Structure formats: structure tokens, C-alpha cells
Amino acid sequence: MPESTPRVKFDPYRERQDEEYMNERQLEHFRQLLLAWKLQLRGEVERTVQHLHEEATACADPNDRASQEEEFAVELRARDRERKLIKKIDEAIAQLDSGAYGFCEACGEPIGVRRLEARPTATLCIDCKELEERRERQWA
């Protein structure tokens, strides 16, 4: 399942001419973006838990109960996806700390600032990602 892109408000990174890739400014930009996204996701998890506690009422009508259980199941699936995404964000932050962030895990080439802004947890450059997707389709 594809991960959602961050919905946090941020100013796009403005690259300077002859700027080194993944310099301190870029690293700090992505660190702040990842941390804000993680904070937002954690807030959504807390709101869901609160909502489940508030709405968990014993319904006398079986149809009402079934509707409520389905609603809870949908919310819990969304939170599970977000939990997995928080893990990816933590992995991206660890890459920032190690100096590996922004470089393709498969070929070592830069992933690119614009791709990382669209998908800050990306670990593959667009060429390697497309190759991976073609291989997945062939084996599907």
C-alpha cells in the first residue's frame, strides 16, 4: 500500500546555484519536515484512540453495532498504516544522522531534493524505483 505524502505545511527548499547535494541546510530542511510529519501522525493516532474510547458504546441494535465495528476497523487500519509510516520516518531520520539520507540504497546516486520533498522517506532514486516496480509487475 503506498504511503501518504506529508500534509504538514512547509516551504519548498530553494536550491542555490552550485550548492552541494545534502548540505547542512538541506539536511536540516528534511529533518524538520520529517519531525513535523511524525508529530502530525502521532497526533492523529492519539485522536483515534480518544475517539474509540468516546464512541465505544454498547449498541442494542445489531446493525448499529456492526456499523460501529466497521467504522472502528477502518480507523484502526488507517492507524496501522500510519504506525508503519512512523517507522519509515524514524528510519529516514536515522539515515539523516548517519549521512546516508538522500542517496539511493540501490545505486548510490542522489535521490533528488524534489523527490524527497514529495516522498521524504524515499530510499530509491526514481530510476531504481521504476525498475523495482517493473520487476514486481512481472512477478505478480
pLDDT digits (tens, 9 = 90+) for 64-123: 778 877 888 888 888 888 899 999 999 999 999 999 999 999 999 999 999 999 999 999
pTM listed for this prediction: 0.80
Q: Are 22 and 115 in contact (CB under 8 A)?
A: no
Q: How far apart (Å, rounded) are the C-alpha atoms in residues 54 and 130?
A: 44
Q: What are phi and psi of 110, to 5 degrees?
A: -60, 135
- Separation of first and last alpha carbons in the chain: 15
Contact 104, 22 (CB under 8 A): no
pLDDT of residue 12: 87
Angle (CA) 65-69-74 rounded to 5° is 150
Question: What is residue 78's predicted lDDT score, i.e. its pLDDT?
Answer: 82
- For 55, the grid coordinates are 464512541
Flag whether pLDDT at 1 surpasses 50. Answer: no
Greater confidence (52 vs 102) lies with 102
Q: C-alpha 132: how far from its chain's center?
A: 19
Cell numbers for 9, please give them.
505545511
Whether the Cβ atoms of residue 105 and residue 121 lie closer than 8 Å to each other: no
pLDDT digits (tens, 9 = 90+) for 3-47: 555 566 778 888 898 999 999 999 999 999 999 999 999 988 788
CA distances from 106 to 15, 21, 23, 131, 137 (A): 25, 18, 21, 11, 19
Confidence (pLDDT) at 65 = 73
Give the separation between CA 123 and CA 112, rounded to whole angstroms: 11
